[in-house]
Amino acid sequence: MSSYISLENKSDIEIVSSVFTSLLANQVELTIIPLKIKEELISSLLTDLDENGVQQKWNDSVRLLALQTLKILGRDANGCGQLFTDKGFKILLTHTKLQSTEPKSDTPVTQESLTCIANMLLLKESTRDLFDKYKCISSICQFLKDNGISIKTQFLLSRILFLMTIKPQPAVQPLIDNLGIIDILYNYISKHLEQLSLPNSSSKEDINSLPITRIMVLNEQLKLLFNLMINDPKIERDNLVQGSNNSNKFEKLLLPILNILLKVPKSTPLPLSPPHSHAIHALLNFPIEPYKSLWFPPSSSKKEQYRVCFNLIDMFKSMIYIAVKNDPDKENAAAGGASDNNLDFDEIITPLVVLLRKLADDDDYAKILIKEELLPDNIDRSKPLEKGDSFSARLIGLMTSVMLPHLKDSISELLFILCNQDANLFVHHVGYGNAAGFLLSKNIMMPPSSSNTSHSDKPINPVTGQYCENEPPSLSNMTDEEKEREAEKLFVLFERLKKTGVMDVVNPVEEAIKSGKIQEYKEDDEDND
């Protein structure tokens, strides 16, 4: 690793190329070199890549190798103190040509230097101030207005803008008001959408940009859009897309984003993956009422008019069946709160549920069709409502989940909206036992009645939602084996309640064991034998 540092004649292109090639052939070793050697190597590279350094005698091939070496070293912030400085930033900036008055160059050297800067902005937040200091944002927007730039450069420029807008930073407002970023995003998203909607679109990728793909660029641009909508200082939170003169800032982007859901093929086996998940995040920031003609374009067929709703419902069903096979808490606890795929379903599915709730809340027909699909009136009441393999049973079961708290809350909100925010109708559809916690959080006090017949011609147990005639026998009529199973269920339920931390409860089964009551019962049974 010290072979480059000790080189005497770094202007010899052949020797320098050989050393760099050797270093890059052992990338794993390059990432674990001692900290002191790493610092010396970075220092040497920065000196040589400086505008007045030995790189003046190199060709682009050698510069590329030097930047690739610096990129590998810069993936770990340890030992990169000199790289993450004003001087280090300016050296990289020189090779991007962003500040050059000459036409922007889309070359491998440009791409590697942009990659180094993107890594720097990600790993060291303070370097984002340097990007703003040297007024690079306007140069990037100008670069993006060139329709001929490669997929890889589009990705890198979009990633940098995404990182520069994660927080309400000074870059956000000029991007929107002065630099035409909305038009830039509209043009790119529309172009990507057109290409990705074609059959065999993956075979039409830019070979020179791989492994960067068009989907990856679209993901970065949707994430950038989300940042802009959230962090624009001029936007009032109660109407996110409105500008100071009530003029619409983001409206033109709504239709292409909706078409991502409708036209871009979904991933398998997880349909709620980028870019569809990023599209949903962006859609959460658009109101429904002013743009119903875009959300639900007029059609002679309701199914066609409400394609977006049906599309979201299908995606939701697929994800719930993947995420919840049996007991959601048992499965997620065993996986440490994540799925077998190391995916956090609590984080992934919740935005989709929030969007469905928003549609149901703002459009009457959307509410009707969502309810028909998620919470039908002809629900199976032969068993407690959260039991069974039906989709509604899985949803209702999630209402009391401990391991998926955000999904639990969002599903409860959605189902409450579908019941017209009527507590009695809500309890009828999901059972008081499943609804109680949610109603309490809404300060709705509603004790269960002994049986419920207001929405059914048969008596219903209000706690479980099950027909009374289908309930298991009472405790007095149970066998010892049935009593033991019920005690086990009670034990599990109290253990879940304790895990929430909401209240300090004593598990009655555990207490009975400690007190010896269960043992006494067993001894009594043995005496009777």
Where residue 304 falls among pLDDT bands split at 50, 70, 90? very high
Please provide the size of the chain in residues: 529
Could you report the per-residue pLDDT of 22-55, keeping only the tens digit for each? Answer: 999 988 888 889 999 999 999 999 999 999 999 9
Q: Is the pTM of this model over 0.85?
A: no
Q: For the beta carbon of residue 467, count every other beta carbon within 10 angstroms.
A: 16
**Contact yes or no for 13/66 (Cβ under 8 A):** no
Question: How far is it, in rounded angstroms, from Cα 168 to Cα 72?
Answer: 30
- pLDDT band of residue 238 (cuts 50, 70, 90) is very low
Q: Identify which has the larger pLDDT, 458 or 422.
A: 422
Q: Tens digit of pLDDT for each residue in 87-102?
A: 999 999 999 988 877 7
Residue 272, both tokens: 């709620």
Q: Which amino acid is at 495?
A: E
Instruction: Please provide the distance, in angstroms rounded to a whole number, between the alpha carbons at the two ends of the chain.
Output: 82
* DSSP string covering 316-353: HHHHHHHH-SS-HHHHHHHTTTS-TTS--HHHHHHHHH
Position 331 confidence tier, pLDDT thresholds 50, 70, 90: low
- pLDDT bin (cut points 50, 70, 90) of residue 303 is very high
Residue 9 to residue 159: CA distance in whole angstroms: 37
Q: Which of 49, 61, 56, 62 is nearest to 94 (CA)?
A: 49
Buried b (16+ CB within 10 A) or exposed e, 319-339: bbebbbeebbbebbeebeeeb
C-beta pairs of 372-377 under 8 Å, 24+ apart in sequence: 373/313, 373/317, 374/313, 374/316, 374/414, 374/415, 374/418, 375/415, 375/418, 375/419, 375/429, 375/430
- Alpha carbon separation from 340 to 220, 325, 331, 343 (Å, rounded): 26, 12, 9, 7
User: In the structure, what pLDDT confidence band is assigned to residue 324 with cuts at 50, 70 and 90?
Assistant: confident
pLDDT band at 337 (very low <50, low <70, confident <90, very high): very low
User: What does the H/E/C string look like for 11-68?
Assistant: CCHHHHHHHHHHHHHCHHHHHCCCHHHHHHHHHHHHHHHCCCCHHHHCCHHHHHHHHH
pLDDT above 70: percentage of residues in the chain: 78
> What would the pLDDT profile of 273-292 be if each residue is shown by its tens digit?
999 999 999 999 999 999 99
Residue 209 pLDDT class (50, 70, 90 cuts): confident
Q: What is the DSSP string of 78-95?
A: TT-TTTTSHHHHHHHHHH
pLDDT in tens, 178-197: 999 999 999 999 999 999 98
> What tens digit of pLDDT does each residue of 510-519 get?
666 666 655 5
Task: Classify 460 as helix, strand or coil.
Answer: strand
Closest CA to 392 of 409, 407, 408, 377: 377
Residue ranges of the domains in the chain?
1-198+209-235+249-267, 340-470, 480-515
Which residue, chain included where needed, has tokens 């009655």?
508
Residue 210 has pLDDT above 90, yes or no: no
Largest CA distance in the chain: 101
Q: Tell me the two tokens of residue 127.
A: 């370097």
Residue 523: pLDDT over 50: no
Tokens encoding 245? 């003169």
Please say whether the beta carbons of 98 and 143 come within 8 A.
yes
What span, in angstroms and rounded, lies between the C-alpha atoms of 464 and 167? 46
DSSP 240-251: TTB-TTS-BSSH
The pLDDT of 483-501, averaged and rounded, is 69
Indicate the SS3 state at residue 452. strand
- Nearest partner of 219 among 263, 194, 195, 188, judged by Cα: 188
Other beta carbons within 10 angstroms of residue 203's beta carbon come to: 7
Amino acid sitting at position 361: D
Rounded Cα–Cα distance for residues 251 and 242 (Å): 9
Yes or no: say if 240 and 176 are a contact pair by the CB < 8 Å rule: no
pLDDT single digits (tens) 347-404: 999 999 999 999 999 999 999 999 999 998 887 676 777 787 789 888 988 998 888 9
Q: According to the model, what pLDDT value does residue 385 have?
A: 77
* pLDDT of the residue at 453: 47
**CA-wise closest residue to 416 among 477, 463, 370, 349:** 370
Domain 1-198+209-235+249-267, CATH 1.10.10.10 — does that match? no
SS3 for 114-154 is HHHHHHHHHHCCCHHHHHHHCCCHHHHHHHHCCCCCCHHHH
Tell me the average pLDDT of the chain.
84
pLDDT digits (tens, 9 = 90+) for 75-90: 999 999 999 999 999 9
Coil vs helix vs strand at 467: strand
* Bigger pLDDT: 429 vs 336: 429
CA distances from 358 to 149, 150, 369 (A): 38, 38, 14
